[in-house]
Amino acid sequence: MNTESLSSKIRSSSFFIKQDAFPRERFYLALSAALLAVVLAAAGCGSGAAQKESPAPASSKPQSTAAGTPAAAESLVLVTDRLDIDFSKHIVTFIELGADKCIPCKAMQPIMKEIAVEYEGQVQVVFYDVWKNPEPARKYGIQLIPTQVFIDKTGREVFRHVGLFPKDELVAFLKKQGVR
């Protein structure tokens, strides 16, 4: 058997056919990743850069409205980009790191508002939209949203929760911290 016929047999072997299939596997992997990105974006948990709606104006101090109204609840939740929050005036500061368009984060919004109204003066509720400004996510070292971080009067983190935090569990935690 000469060298030329041996090399032609090697080139036509199934080993090389499998290697040729590899680019097709990469194509299917890339297609799967693209489809996953589309599904996540449609579910509201994709990148914030694709959002078209204008952001809600950030408020750094509460507006005066009748307590218990939806507007009052809105004004008691501090929506901000500022990282220099004063923790000393409240027993606990409840920091929600999420996004306006993330579905689990949207589910946390009414809970945050209720906590802000029910425990006004004792619990400071702060919301950071980390899709609009990722700096708070870096500061608090979060990897998933929503993440709730609880800070005491001294500025020390006392607890952290990732995901939707049911109100009854959140209230139980606050009561353990001395909130009445």
The band of 110, judged by pLDDT with boundaries at 50, 70 and 90, is very high
pLDDT reported for residue 8? 58
Would 51 be classed as within a structural domain? no
Pick the catalytic residue from 77, 105, 116, 117. Answer: 105
Across the range 3-32, mean pLDDT stands at 58
Task: For residues 104 and 157, state if they share a domain.
Answer: yes
Would you call the peptide bond into 146 cis, given omega within 30 degrees of 0 as the criterion? yes
Q: Considering the chain, what is the average pLDDT of its residues?
A: 76
CATH number for the domain that contains residue 116 = 3.40.30.10
The band of 72, judged by pLDDT with boundaries at 50, 70 and 90, is low
Would 79 be classed as within a structural domain? yes
Across the range 91-110, mean pLDDT stands at 95
* Residue 16 belongs to domain spanning: 3-43
Would 37 be classed as within a structural domain? yes
Share of the chain above pLDDT 90, in %: 57
Task: For residues 16 and 74, state if they share a domain.
Answer: no
Cα–Cα distance for residue pair 65/77, rounded to 1 Å: 13
Would 120 be classed as within a structural domain? yes
Pick the catalytic residue from 102, 112, 137, 145. Answer: 102
Known catalytic residue: 102? yes
pLDDT reported for residue 144? 95
pLDDT reported for residue 66? 43
Whether residue 146 contacts residue 102, with contact meaning beta carbons closer than 8 Å, is answered with yes
Q: What angle, rounded to 10 degrees, do the helices at 14-43 and 3-11 form? A: 20
pLDDT reported for residue 65? 39
pLDDT tens per residue, range 23-39 = 666 666 666 666 555 44
Between these two residues, 91 and 9, which has the higher pLDDT value?
A: 91
